[in-house]
Amino acid sequence: MLVGPPGAGKGTQAEFIAAHLAVPKISTGDIFRANVAQGTPLGIQAKQFMDAGQLVPDEVTINMVRDRLAEPDAGDGFLLDGFPRTTPQAQALDKLLADLGTGLDLVLELVVDDDEVIRRLSGRRTCRGCGKIWHVEFDAPNREGVCDRCGGELFQRDDDKAETIAERLRVYARDTAPLVDYYGAQGKLVGIDATGPVEDVTNRAIDALRSYGG
């Protein structure tokens, strides 16, 4: 399982690590979309909450995770990306995995400090034309504010504005950071430095898995 603040690169690292381990990457975003698209009973329930602008209750989420873990491709292992997000979810997941006769082997914490998160996220600019995401510092277009690919105008999404990032970091510190202690107490936590080039972070993650025996 991966844990880390917004902007730590969890989604990107999850792709590489899951490919390295040859196991499926399981994220609640993907599971929600699949259940809603297929019109499953859980998807219909989840959509009612989302349409009302409410959080999907943990019980619905954990049942979707249960169904996903029962699919054949997860039989030899899986990588959880972005779930659990709170201690009650982690407790429910532990119970679910115990019921299935399994458990988490390792929790990788992608460690990035708040200043770096703010630098990464607040520099993002999205093209109104093609949706490509640029970065004012790390991946700047040739002309400021204009997409190299399609000539579209670049803008800053609300999610990438400083005040929104600060709020997301507060929510992470309050709700999700306690998982570091939760899994640390189980002896399952390994922290890796998630700064620097993407491939360096992937290599650190793979080294951590290897020293565990994965």
44 binds Zn ion (CB under 5 A): no
Binding-site positions read 7-12, 28, 33, 54-56, 82-85, 89, 124, 127, 130, 147, 150, 157, 168, 196
CA angle (95, 25, 129) in 5-degree steps: 130
154 binds Zn ion (CB under 5 A): no
Q: Catalytic: 10? A: yes
Is 150 or 162 the residue whose CB approaches Zn ion more closely?
A: 150
- Say how far apart CA 83 and CA 85 lie, in whole Å: 5
Structure tokens at 191: 């922290």
Which H or E run contains 53?
A: none
Helical axes 28-38 vs 58-69, angle rounded to 10°? 90
| Interface segment toward Zn ion; rule CB under 5 A; list 12-20, 25-33, 34-42, 139-147 | 139-147
Residue 33 or 149: which CB sits closer to Zn ion? 149
Total number of residues that touch Zn ion (CB under 5 A): 8
- Is residue 149 part of the annotated active site? The answer reads no
- Please tell me whether residue 127 binds Zn ion under the rule CB under 5 A: yes
Q: Determine if 191 is a binding residue for Zn ion (CB under 5 A).
A: no
Residue 129 interacting with Zn ion (CB under 5 A): yes
Q: Number of helices and strands (H, E) in the chain?
A: 9, 8
What the block records as the tokens of 26 is 């399981």
Please give the annotated binding residues for Zn(2+), written as ranges. 127, 130, 147, 150
Residue with smaller CB distance to Zn ion, 119 or 132: 132
157 is catalytic: yes
Q: Which residues pair with 107 in a beta bridge?
A: 189
76 by Cβ neighbours in 10 Å (0-12 / 13-18 / 19+) ranks as: exposed
150 binds Zn ion (CB under 5 A): yes
Specify the residue, 130 or 198, whose C-beta has the smaller distance to Zn ion. 130
Question: Is the separation of the CB atoms in 127 and 152 below 8 Å?
Answer: yes
- Catalytic site residues? 10, 85, 124, 157, 168
